Amino acid sequence: MEPFDTHEHEVLVIGAGGAGLRAAIEASAMGCSVGLVTKSLLGKAHTVMAEGGIAAALAHLDPQDGWQTHFQDTMKGGSFLNHWRMAQLHAQESPDRVRELEQWGALFDRTPDGRILQRAFGGHTWKRLAHVGDRTGLEMIRTLQDRGVHQGLDVYMEFTVTKLFTDGGRIAGALAYRRDTGRFVLFRCKAIVIATGGVGKAYQVTSNSWEYTGDGQTLAFEAGAELIDMEFLQFHPTGMVWPPGVMGLLVTEGVRGEGGILRNSKGERFMWKYLPEARRHEYAADEAEARAWLDAAVEGQQTEARRPPELSTRDNVSRAIYTEVREGRGTPHGGAFLDISYMPAERIKKKLPSMYHQFKELADVDITATPMEVGPTTHYMMGGVRVEPDTGAATVPGLFAAGEASAGMHGANRLGGNSLSDLVVFGRRAGAGAAYYAKGLTATPRIPDAEIEAEMRGLLSPFERASGESPYEVHRALQECMGTNVGIFRIEKDLETALATLATLKQRAARVRVEGGRTYNPGWHLARDLRNMLVVSEAITRSALLRKESRGAHSRLDYTGLDPALGKVNMCAKRSGDGMQVGPTPLPEMPAELKALFDAAPQPAGKAT
């Protein structure tokens, strides 16, 4: 058998983003021996890239705010497909988690009276996002990282977990390889927390990094856990489309908030055409009124004028850009022009400093002089491992999940800032759940040698093939398939095509060949990640096929309306044999006292990142 190292922990946390770190800190505070595994170096997880802020009803600026309102906003944003208990816990506990970050050393921006400052964001009724300029995620991950390393965790950096083992249905451990040496490592443990983040790398245009290959979802799925809501993949309407190097990089909604105008290649301001009839009265009727609104906003004054059409909801903006491109009025690189250059340069630099620098340094575009080119970009996975709200427990005993890899909290669409708070609220709960579970087990479950060996052999097989495709080829084909067929707008025929393509890609992926040795070989790493991307892609496609309606982030061109019956179910993917079974499972009923909140406040909220 191949040699491997063995480490033993009571709780193994996979993923060192906000969710994983918070889980590890909690489990270790409860007296467990904790191992924390991450594919990159510590502190480089996706959480570091979050900008806007962390949502918590601290009510520092708007005293009317409270957890009930935050709860309502979250449920409305998620088209009521959220697990009500998760949304409730999240709204109730996030203020404490934010204060806790501060007590661990985070330095949030301040209000004039010396408390944590909060900013307004789409979909949130009150000013709610605690933030540090436009680098909130960095502050959060550093704080957690420093807290964690002083507390007694063992951190395994640049290790990739490839398989979870079970013993009689219970979690028994995991196999990983070290990216720096290629050596295998076996973790024996009683409980595992999955906090591996999202799936964006299955798409070419994405704001996500190479890490987001759906590892956690796949590991859990293969261990027998259920994945829900996989069809809800958030596409942000404004990502950069050019130059290729930065394709997909996020362009914050703040640009449109500051007066950014969307135009097609003919120079037409097209958003007016796409306002839904029912909401048209909420938006400005012409350029003059939109301008009046903007002038008032710049001056910080009240106005009778209504919002510019660019501030329509995200799905709607995406649909508009999409249609313009389809009808041949797209920009040279397949997007729309987002123009803010007519505003005074000084104001742009003051209000959008990071966007100004992002375009200046990475695209050579001076946004104070030229329009940006933008198009939708794959951003966030609402779906993932189905968990029990209070403990983060998945359906497999000993398996827990938190963060973007888990599901239920955001329903069909996530509100801006709700992810960072999700990470700490449910990271903590999952860590505690895992620790509690691990403490309850007397013996560490066993792992049969044969399974370990089979997994290692599988991992090494791409080296042994004399011929075969490069994994990069297959990855490109997968991205093309998903981008073309399972993009922002879906239609039955395309989804079927995607399923067929995925089946052939699976075969191609099983035959890839990698060159070189095992030390830090990205080709080899990709060969493995491919398998995970294929599993989540299949789950996304199958769930999308079954949801014959348009809800939240899931838009079907062949079923444009809402189906009330589908509003009561989650699509759930589960392993059966070697295949995948997807079907509806009922959504838990919200208790009467929470339902009553909505009867009191009928007006719907918008959507946001």
Ligand X SMILES: Cc1cc2nc3c(=O)[nH]c(=O)nc-3n(C[C@H](O)[C@H](O)[C@H](O)COP(=O)(O)OP(=O)(O)OC[C@H]3O[C@@H](n4cnc5c(N)ncnc54)[C@H](O)[C@@H]3O)c2cc1C
Please name the residue that has the structure tokens 């505690």.
Answer: 432
The answer to whether 334 contacts other proteins (rule: CB under 8 A) is yes
Q: Choose which of 152, 567, 584, 606 interacts with other proteins (CB under 8 A).
A: 152
Q: Say which of 147, 179, 314, 429 is annotated catalytic.
A: 314
Shortest distance in whole angstroms from residue 417 CB to ligand X: 5
Q: Choose which of 11, 12, 13, 19 interacts with ligand X (CB under 6 A).
A: 19
Nearer to ligand X, 16 or 363 (CB): 16
Q: Binds 37, which of other proteins, ligand X, none (CB < 5 to 8 A, cut-off by type)?
A: ligand X
Strands (E), 295-359: 336-339
CB 200 within 8 A of CB 536: no
Shortest distance in whole angstroms from residue 331 CB to other proteins: 6
Cβ neighbours of 254 (radius 10 Å): 18
Candidates 74-82, 194-202, 302-310, 534-542 — which segment interacts with ligand X by CB under 6 A? 194-202
Shortest distance in whole angstroms from residue 520 CB to ligand X: 15
Candidates 50-58, 386-394, 449-457, 459-467 — which segment interacts with ligand X by CB under 6 A? 50-58
Q: Which two tokens stand for residue 466?
A: 């004399």
Beta strand 153-157 with 159-167 is: unpaired
Residue 581 CB contacts under 8 Å (≥ 6 apart), including other chains: 573, 574, 575
Shortest distance in whole angstroms from residue 313 CB to ligand X: 18
For the chain, what is the largest distance between any 2 Cα atoms, rounded to a whole number of angstroms? 75
Mask of contacts with ligand X, 370-389, x by CB under 6 A?
Answer: ----------x---------
CB 359 within 8 A of CB 345: no
CB 49 within 8 A of CB 413: no
Q: Choose which of 1, 2, 169, 210 interacts with other proteins (CB under 8 A).
A: 210
Of residues 420 through 479, those in contact with other proteins by CB under 8 A are 470-472, 476, 479
| DSSP notation for 359-420 | IIIII---TTTS-EEEEEEEEEE--EEE--TTT-B-SSTTEEE-GGGEESSSTTSPPTTHHH
Q: Choose which of 28, 40, 125, 145 interacts with ligand X (CB under 6 A).
A: 40
Mask of contacts with other proteins, 520-539, x by CB under 8 A?
Answer: xxxxx---------------
Q: Choose which of 10, 51, 324, 455 interacts with ligand X (CB under 6 A).
A: 51
Q: Which two tokens stand for residue 279?
A: 């909401």
Q: Choose which of 65, 388, 494, 538 interacts with other proteins (CB under 8 A).
A: 494
Tell me the three state secondary structure of residue 555. strand
Shortest distance in whole angstroms from residue 475 CB to other proteins: 9
Q: What is the total count of residues that contact other proteins (CB under 8 A)?
A: 112
Backbone angles phi, psi at 436, to 5 degrees: -60, -45
Of residues 99 through 138, those in contact with ligand X by CB under 6 A are 137
Please name the residue that has the structure tokens 């999240």.
Answer: 90
| Calpha distance 330→311 (Å, rounded) | 20
The answer to whether 211 contacts ligand X (rule: CB under 6 A) is yes
The answer to whether 246 contacts ligand X (rule: CB under 6 A) is no
Residue facing ligand X at closest CB distance: 17
Cβ neighbours of 497 (radius 10 Å): 16
The answer to whether 493 contacts other proteins (rule: CB under 8 A) is yes
Q: Binds 191, which of ligand X, other proteins, none (CB < 5 to 8 A, cut-off by type)?
A: none
Give the per-residue SS3 of 491-548. Answer: CHHHHHHHHHHHHHHHHHHCCCCCCCCCCCCHHHHHHHHHHHHHHHHHHHHHHHHHCC
Shortest distance in whole angstroms from residue 405 CB to ligand X: 6
CB 414 within 8 A of CB 406: no
Q: Choose which of 10, 13, 20, 199 interacts with ligand X (CB under 6 A).
A: 20
The answer to whether 578 contacts other proteins (rule: CB under 8 A) is no
Shortest distance in whole angstroms from residue 598 CB to other proteins: 34
Backbone angles phi, psi at 228, to 5 degrees: -120, 165
b/e per residue 200-213 (b: at least 16 CB within 10 A): bbbbbbbbbbebbb
Of residues 213 through 272, those in contact with other proteins by CB under 8 A are 241-246, 249, 265-267
Cis check: omega of the bond before 371, within 30 degrees of 0 = no
| Calpha distance 607→416 (Å, rounded) | 8
Is 547 assigned a catalytic role? Answer: no
The answer to whether 218 contacts ligand X (rule: CB under 6 A) is no
Q: Binds 477, which of ligand X, other proteins, none (CB < 5 to 8 A, cut-off by type)?
A: none
The answer to whether 161 contacts ligand X (rule: CB under 6 A) is yes
| Calpha distance 411→567 (Å, rounded) | 10
Candidates 78-86, 218-226, 359-367, 411-419 — which segment interacts with other proteins by CB under 8 A? 359-367
Nearest one of 153, 221, 217 to 435, comparing CA atoms: 153
Nearest one of 84, 92, 175 to 429, comparing CA atoms: 92
Nearer to ligand X, 367 or 409 (CB): 409
Mask of contacts with other proteins, 69-108, x by CB under 8 A?
Answer: ------------------------------x--xxxx-x-
Nearer to other proteins, 298 or 491 (CB): 491
Using alpha carbons only, give the angle 319, 386, 533 rounded to the nearest 5 degrees.
60
Nearer to other proteins, 44 or 542 (CB): 44
| Calpha distance 351→340 (Å, rounded) | 12
The answer to whether 192 contacts ligand X (rule: CB under 6 A) is no
Q: Binds 522, which of other proteins, ligand X, none (CB < 5 to 8 A, cut-off by type)?
A: other proteins
Counted residue by residue, the chain has a size of 609
Mask of contacts with other proteins, 291-330, x by CB under 8 A?
Answer: ------------------------------xx--xx-xxx
Nearer to ligand X, 133 or 591 (CB): 133
Cβ neighbours of 532 (radius 10 Å): 23
| Calpha distance 364→417 (Å, rounded) | 29
- What is the identity of the amino acid at 308? P
The answer to whether 517 contacts other proteins (rule: CB under 8 A) is yes
Nearer to other proteins, 270 or 293 (CB): 270
CB 549 within 8 A of CB 561: yes
Nearest one of 379, 83, 375 to 207, comparing CA atoms: 379
Catalytic residues: 314
Which residues of this protein are in contact with ligand X, per CB under 6 A?
Answer: 14-20, 37-40, 45-47, 49-53, 137, 159-161, 195-197, 207-208, 211, 215, 250, 380, 403-405, 416-420, 423
